[in-house]
A and B are shown apart, each in its own frame.
Chain A
């Protein structure tokens, strides 16, 4: 009934093979690229400097971070079955990982993709296999930074239980900040990326990513609530993250201290709102039960 299962595992294995060959070819091709690199669509870089960089970057490409294996999905997370294959195929991963190295310079653009394709040893035209072009590169960034969070959370909260205690909101703030620092490298290009993410065809996927990120942050913070606050905490984290991220794109302060302050203020506000709502809810419930019990004490059969 489920034939795709074994074959999907096989595909993944096949994919990693393809990935290593791609990496190998990229090393071999780096030299060729230096000579053949002529024009890259819609860019006017000085090619020599770039070609040198590509030649340097290519040998290190097998260690490029990949999200194929580590990506977590939101439905049923199993601890003793391996995670399902990630959102990117092996070829797609190789191409995007290589292209991502060019983002700080060329932005989330077709130019970065074209350079990445060359580095990974594919022909320039191969970027057309990506279903969503530059947006795929943005998705790569989002998945990569999200996948890194779990490891960073372990490092950050390592002192927990040994004298150091964090409250859940504190941990959420630390995690949001940690995720935002993942944007530092590409911060110059991030406004453009947000614009691409906000275009109508991309909005559903962008929102899904934001929701997944919020889920990851709340999960890593150790919040185990599974009542309606499951929704409110994730909505709150999404709102705070999105607004702080936008603020960060125009922050010129040293070490993004203004962004840090902005984040702290938003967290304070959220704490205030949550406290007020909780108090109102508690008061309503308490009054209702009180009224019912008074009625019962009068002998009313309710």
Chain B
């Protein structure tokens, strides 16, 4: 009942807003359309290994070329925006958890599970940012305040709204990670063709992004399972949050 209702009530502009969401969250097969063959439990360390023959570790291949300015800028802004995103995610869950678990104590393990995964992602990107000497976003304090406010606000509106918030954020984030993986694979392709290939740390980054993307989409599934679609008015809430996410991604990539 609820889902067809949502579709019939959607205005044309919100339909446009939702199109990528449907292609991501409608079927779990299409969800992993970007070809991750890694099972969920796979560690990032194992994922880059399937292509050892092209790896110039043997010494006979041409040396790796330096990264171009565009590539370095892409990688910096990618790591910067990912760190900001995971910071926001941990703060959203931190703010939501006390309110959600008080009204629905059975959600405690789920909230803890999602929070722990987000903390893991945040730590991953923190160490990557430090290792690659990327500048963290200057909007850090603003994102901290806004995301904690978003988490608290949606949790105040009830469990459904909190889950709708998760649904909206994770949809946007899933899209965003897919875009980054796509760019990285294109970059790897260019490097293979140009000789030298891609360094192990970048291959590992692809694996890390795939793992994190899958975990984020898992959160999306959890949110939908826990009545995210029952939030009122669902289209307005998710549309608003996704617009905010898009704006935050745009800003964090730049400053």
Residues of chain A at the chain B interface (Cβ within 8 Å)? 1-2, 4-6, 8-9, 72-85, 215, 219, 224-228, 230-231, 296, 301-302
Contact = CB atoms under 8 A, between A and B. Distances in A.
B126 to A, nearest CB: 5
Contacts of A302: 99, 156
A74 B73 CA distance: 10
Contact of B69 (A9, A84, A224): A84
Interface stretch (B110-118, B167-175, B194-202, B217-225): B194-202
Contacts of B126: 226
A79 B133 CA distance: 11
Contacts of B71: 2, 76
A149 to B, nearest CB: 14
A5 B65 contact: yes
Contact of A75 (B76, B83, B129): B76
5 contacts: A75-B134, A76-B72, A81-B65, A83-B66, A227-B140
B133 A74 contact: yes
A62 to B, nearest CB: 24
A219 B131 CA distance: 10
Given A5-B194, A226-B83, A80 B64 contact: yes
Given A82-B63, A226-B126, A302-B156, A77 B133 contact: yes
Interface of B: 63-73, 75-76, 79, 83, 98-99, 126-127, 129-136, 138, 140-141, 156, 190, 194, 199-202
Contacts of A79: 131, 199, 201
A16 B199 CA distance: 25
A227 B122 CA distance: 11
The B interface, classified by DSSP as helix, strand, loop or mixed, is helix
B130 A84 contact: no
A73 B63 CA distance: 20
B103 to A, nearest CB: 9
Contact of A76 (B63, B130, B134, B141): B134
A158 to B, nearest CB: 22
B194 to A, nearest CB: 6
Contact of A81 (B67, B127, B129, B135): B67
Contacts of B63: 82
A75 B136 contact: no
A76 B194 contact: no
A228 to B, nearest CB: 5
Contact of A84 (B66, B200, B201, B202): B66
A6 B66 contact: no
B201 A78 contact: yes
A223 B68 CA distance: 27
Nearest to A78: B67
Contacts of A296: 98
Nearest to B98: A296
Contacts of B132: 76-78
Contact of B66 (A9, A219, A301): A9
